[in-house]
Amino acid sequence: MMLSRLSRLDPSKILITHQHGDHVLGLFGLLLSMAMHDRKSPLHIVAPNSVKDLLECVMKKTEAKIPYDIIFTKVSEGTVIKGRDYKIRAKKAEHHGEAYCYRLDENMRPGVFYPEKARALGIPEGPLWHRLQVGKKIKHNGKVVLPSEVTGPKRRGRSFGYSGDTRVTAKLVNFFKGVDLLVFDSTYTEQFKKEAMLYGHSTASQAAKLAMKAGVKKLILTHVSARVSDEEHLLNEAKEFHQNVYVAKDFDSFDITYPE
């Protein structure tokens, strides 16, 4: 986060998939860094209960002083966070121990606004148009005008999925159905398929098959094992099943465009 110049104070919510070291050990330094930068606003952590136990143990043993509130939510399947214009859901992963995948979906957006329809109803351009554009009804000349009278059908928002460590399962195909961007466990190539099954991970081919079945728009392969020396081979295996796929690299940035 420091090298990428992302603010260590900005995150208001942290979601953790499971308690394995490569997924939690960075948390304590981040929390202390927030404290050193005089954070005051609450921090919301969503994770398995074992992470809460570990967090409390480390903070006690290190005598850490945290000047802001930490709100902990034990993760379970279903909606774990509901924001003003989005929600985040969790689904159990198939990995060693208690593990989860996450999916973020923005709320439905208002339909396309048609100025000619507003003019035909005698509504003057300005604040009333804006209210209708954002999906709010108005009252004009003693008559209530609904957004649906001057806009098209509602449009869906953007979506993002993150697998954490997991084997591919049928329920995850359904969970990630139609997401715009999916970051998925691709620890191994097919050469290490047995290891993937043994240790609760996926191969690039398996991840790509899931993305294909789920209708995922863009797939990012991550958590690549050091045993995979040729990332191009990993990518080529995935592209047999899904063309819009990339191997994640530190500091990569991907825009998620609106569906329409």
Query: Cα–Cα distance between 85 and 105 in angstroms, integer?
Result: 9
Q: What pLDDT was estimated at residue 11?
A: 85
Active site residue 22: yes
Residue 19 confidence (pLDDT) = 94
Which pLDDT belongs to residue 180? 97
pTM: 0.89
pLDDT of residue 8: 75
Q: Which residue has the tokens 């923005």?
A: 106
Digits of tens for pLDDT over the chain (260 positions)? 778 888 877 889 999 999 999 999 999 999 999 999 889 999 999 999 999 999 999 999 999 989 999 999 999 999 999 999 999 999 999 999 999 999 999 999 989 999 999 999 999 999 999 999 988 999 998 899 999 999 999 899 999 999 999 999 999 999 999 999 999 999 999 999 999 999 999 999 999 999 999 999 999 999 999 989 888 999 999 999 999 999 999 999 999 998 87
β-bridge pairing 100-106 and 159-162? antiparallel
- CATH architecture designation of domain 81-108+157-260: 4-Layer Sandwich (3.60)
pLDDT score of 10: 80
Picking from 164, 173, 15, the residue whose alpha carbon sits closest to that of residue 79 is: 15
Instruction: Please pick, among 22, 85, 230, 250, the residue that the annotation labels catalytic.
Output: 22
* 100 close to 17: Cβ distance less than 8 angstroms: yes
The domain locations on the chain are: 1-75, 81-108+157-260, 115-149
CA-to-CA separations, 80 to 13, 16, 19, 20, 86, in angstroms, rounded: 11, 12, 18, 21, 11
